[in-house]
């Protein structure tokens, strides 16, 4: 199996990669499957059922909205956020939905009653993964035309029922120049080739794209990250969802700008950058999944630490940072999980912290062994982190948690640079431990909003 860095860093919308981006992609896949099998014109109604964590916290994560937009042919990367609200309001008011309405020459209008045809099962789960959804299309006589089950397995990745036995994501059998599945294999390859982790990753990425395309694509990812931070530091008001959480990033930004950017307040800026992104994410704005939306603020914040506070930072460093962080993320995706519904927040914020620590160490001149050590430290001190969003919203504790983890990533990278790369707990061992901890974790602490802060904070 081959995973590209562009699988881990993708442009989408908030508030959740697994509950918004994934379901939108799945719904679009279903509508396009109807078209490819010549069934679109026969479809009279569609029914969507959400299970497990999707059913338990779907309303707070905007999942019903995402399904409606996906059925109309929207992609998370390109959906017009202003028009999206208009389209959802039209569907709900008219009781009519345009299957693939956003694809030229493919639109097919059907009746759609959201209350009857988009069902959230709060305490029912499908067997493969906590984020399951089933869609079925019926003809005018009420007979089923097509039924498909999809799983949103974290980071916006979607697996359909035909691929369950294959792996966590749709298999990619691309032959890479330097294939690896573990941290140990990655380090062995760097020793054999003399390449840094980012340089080795670049050679692997050439299996899919030219070097120019890779560099341009990664800088585009960085542009969207940076713009998200900038928006988050200017917008004020109350976040949607009912908790009445007040945006704080803009207020903090004004205070910090008055102080300037100095080594003394560097970590306050890092915290601010991360919170700005996750306030935007909570508002349903444009973000980069990195590697999930719930943890989307950590890598941009640490990258901005690099560009703001490290002399000599440049575009080449940004590219190397993202490539090295991507290598670390692949190890989590391949050997554990980045899904909060599967392993708790350690799989989201913990993985992002680990990736950011490794990426920063890379551009600060670390050896591959020091990069691996930084990534290990980043996860080791997030082990056991639960996913307990109050009200099922990606707000409390998620926004502050990103700020804390971004600071922790910087600290992890600095700690690793003070050592020689030798340490007792390997990255592979901490990834294995994270997976086992997630398996032992009670379901109520895995993005169901039925445990932890979610039941100990009054939602008003």
The pLDDT tens digits for 383-396 are: 999 999 999 899 99
Sign of the Cα torsion 417, 418, 421, 424 reads: negative
Residue 165: predicted pLDDT: 46
Mean pLDDT over residues 256-269, rounded?
96
Res. 166: pLDDT tops 50: no
Predicted confidence (pLDDT) per residue in 66-105, tens digit: 999 999 999 999 999 989 999 999 999 999 999 999 887 7
Res. 273: pLDDT tops 90: yes
Predicted confidence (pLDDT) per residue in 444-455, tens digit: 999 888 899 989
Mean pLDDT over residues 320-333, rounded?
98
Residue 424: predicted pLDDT: 96
DSSP state of 17: I
Mean pLDDT over residues 414-420, rounded?
97
By three-state DSSP, how is residue 376 classified? helix
Q: Work out the pLDDT band at 124, boundaries 50, 70, 90.
A: very high
Which residue in this structure is represented by tokens 């909003």?
A: 449
The separation between CA 368 and the C-alpha centre of its own chain, rounded to angstroms, equals: 26
Res. 106: pLDDT tops 50: yes
Res. 263: pLDDT tops 90: yes
Which residue in this structure is represented by tokens 């999942």?
A: 63
Res. 168: pLDDT tops 90: no
In sequence order, which ranges of 163-261 are alpha helices (DSSP H)? Answer: 183-193, 197-205, 211-232, 249-259
Q: Work out the pLDDT band at 169, boundaries 50, 70, 90.
A: very low
Determine contact, residues 25/135, Cβ cutoff 8 Å: no
Which among 49-58, 164-173, 299-308 has the top mean pLDDT?
299-308
Mean pLDDT over residues 358-378, rounded?
98
Q: Work out the pLDDT band at 160, boundaries 50, 70, 90.
A: confident
CB neighbourhood size of 451 (10 A):
18
Res. 163: pLDDT tops 80: no
Residue 155: predicted pLDDT: 84
Residue 167: predicted pLDDT: 39
Which residue in this structure is represented by tokens 């390449």?
A: 195
Determine the Cα–Cα distance for residues 53 and 394; give it in Å rounded to an integer.
13
Predicted confidence (pLDDT) per residue in 426-436, tens digit: 999 999 999 99
54-63, 265-274, 320-329, 415-424 — which is least confidently predicted?
54-63
Residue 249: predicted pLDDT: 98
Res. 108: pLDDT tops 80: yes
Residue 143: predicted pLDDT: 97
Res. 350: pLDDT tops 50: yes
């Amino acid at each position: 199996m081959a995973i590209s860095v562009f699988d881990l860093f993708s442009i989408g919308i908030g508030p959740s990669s697994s509950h918004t981006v994934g379901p939108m992609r799945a719904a679009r896949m279903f509508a396009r499957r109807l078209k490819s099998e010549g069934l679109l014109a026969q479809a009279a109604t569609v029914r969507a059922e959400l299970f497990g964590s999707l059913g338990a916290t779907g309303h707070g994560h905007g999942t019903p909205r995402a399904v409606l937009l996906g059925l109309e042919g929207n992609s998370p990367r390109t959906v017009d956020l202003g028009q999206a609200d208009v389209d959802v309001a039209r569907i709900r008011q008219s009781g009519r939905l345009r299957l693939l309405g956003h694809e030229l020459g493919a639109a097919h209008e059907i009746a759609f009653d959201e209350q009857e045809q988009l069902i959230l099962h709060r305490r029912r789960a499908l067997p493969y993964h906590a984020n399951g959804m089933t869609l079925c299309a019926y003809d005018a006589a009420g007979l089923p035309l097509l039924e498909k089950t999809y799983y949103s397995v974290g980071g916006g990745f979607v697996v359909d029922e035909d691929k369950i036995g294959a792996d966590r994501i749709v298999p990619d059998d691309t032959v890479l120049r330097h294939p690896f599945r573990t941290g140990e294999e990655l380090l062995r390859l760097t020793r054999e080739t003399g390449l840094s982790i980012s340089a080795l990753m670049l050679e692997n990425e050439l299996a899919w794209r030219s070097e120019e395309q890779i560099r341009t694509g990664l800088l585009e990812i960085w542009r969207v990250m940076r713009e998200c931070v900038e928006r988050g530091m200017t917008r004020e008001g109350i976040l949607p969802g009912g908790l009445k959480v007040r945006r704080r990033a803009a207020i903090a930004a004004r205070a910090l700008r008055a102080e300037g950017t100095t080594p003394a307040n560097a970590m306050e800026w890092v915290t601010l950058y991360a919170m700005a992104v996750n306030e935007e994410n909570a508002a349903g704005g444009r973000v980069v999944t990195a590697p999930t939306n719930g943890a989307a603020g950590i890598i941009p914040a640490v990258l901005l630490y690099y560009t703001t506070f490290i002399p000599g930072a440049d575009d080449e460093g940004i590219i190397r940072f993202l490539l090295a962080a991507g290598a670390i993320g692949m190890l989590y995706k391949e050997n554990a999980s980045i899904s909060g519904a599967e392993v708790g927040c350690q799989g989201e914020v913990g993985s992002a912290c680990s990736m950011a620590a490794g990426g920063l160490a890379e551009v600060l001149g670390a050896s591959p062994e020091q990069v691996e050590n930084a990534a290990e430290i980043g996860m080791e001190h997030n082990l056991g982190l639960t996913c307990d969003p109050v009200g099922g919203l990606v707000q409390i504790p998620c926004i502050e948690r990103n700020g804390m983890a971004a600071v922790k990533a910087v600290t992890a990278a600095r700690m690793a640079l003070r050592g020689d790369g030798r340490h007792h707990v390997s990255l592979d061992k901490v990834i294995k431990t994270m997976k086992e901890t997630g398996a032992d974790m009670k379901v109520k602490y895995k993005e169901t909003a039925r445990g932890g802060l979610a039941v100990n904070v009054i939602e008003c």
